[in-house]
Amino acid sequence: MSNKVIYAIYNDDDVLMDAVKQTRAAHHHIEEIFTPFPVHGLDKAMGIAPTRLAICAFIYGVCGLAFATWMMNNIMIADWPQDIGGKPSFSYIENMPAFVPVMFEMTVFFAAHLMVLTFYMRSRLWPFKSAENPDVRTTDDHFLMEVAVHGDENEMISFFQNTGAVEVKVIEKH
């Protein structure tokens, strides 16, 4: 089976959006779209499932809150309950207002950093990663849609030329 894909290149995001809608209507499978900047509504037009990153962040935040609470309780109340400036150290709740700034910051810290790490991992981004750019112009002013070739190759090429592509290429992928 051949691993041929079509690179349809556009130079306007409105044209791209229309092309995506037509491609979806024609039941061609869009492998990937490369754009130089976020195109509002592209994910919806492509039918990509919404991100669950926010849910992750909430859970990380709760972990941070729990960690801060455990830490402050362990240090300030359980391990060595000193009298520091008359602050009550008999139980956690009695001295809680003093711990709230720490609890808050920890919550934000965990939520923010773990969410960013999750984002990097899920989108496979790390230093020294080799770029997966099919065409250098897509980082500047061109939009590229990659579609797997199934069936008649020439028919597909003419289809994409009709969607307003400035360039349509067929590439053999390894």
Residue window 16-35: x/- pattern of binding to another protein, with contact defined by CB under 8 A: --------------------
If binding is defined by CB under 8 A, does position 113 make contact with another protein? no
If binding is defined by CB under 8 A, does position 90 make contact with another protein? yes
Query: Which parts of 126-145 interact with another protein (CB under 8 A)?
Result: none
Candidates 14, 32, 94, 153; binder of another protein (CB under 8 A) is: 94
Candidates 48, 53, 75, 93; binder of another protein (CB under 8 A) is: 93
Q: Are 166 and 15 in contact (CB under 8 A)?
A: no
If binding is defined by CB under 8 A, does position 97 make contact with another protein? yes
Q: How many residues bind another protein (CB under 8 A)?
A: 13
Distance set, CA 110 to CA 61, 67, 131 (Å) = 6, 9, 29
Q: Which two tokens stand for residue 146?
A: 């990659």
DSSP reduced 3-state for 101 = helix
Report the residue number, 88 or 122, with the smaller CB distance to another protein: 88
Report the residue number, 86 or 127, with the smaller CB distance to another protein: 86
Q: Are 161 and 140 in contact (CB under 8 A)?
A: no
| AA identity, residue 109 | F
If binding is defined by CB under 8 A, does position 38 make contact with another protein? no
Residues contacting 119, CB < 8 A, separation 6+: 53, 125
Distance CA 137, CA 11 (A): 10
If binding is defined by CB under 8 A, does position 105 make contact with another protein? no
Report the residue number, 20 or 57, with the smaller CB distance to another protein: 57
Distance CA 114, CA 135 (A): 32
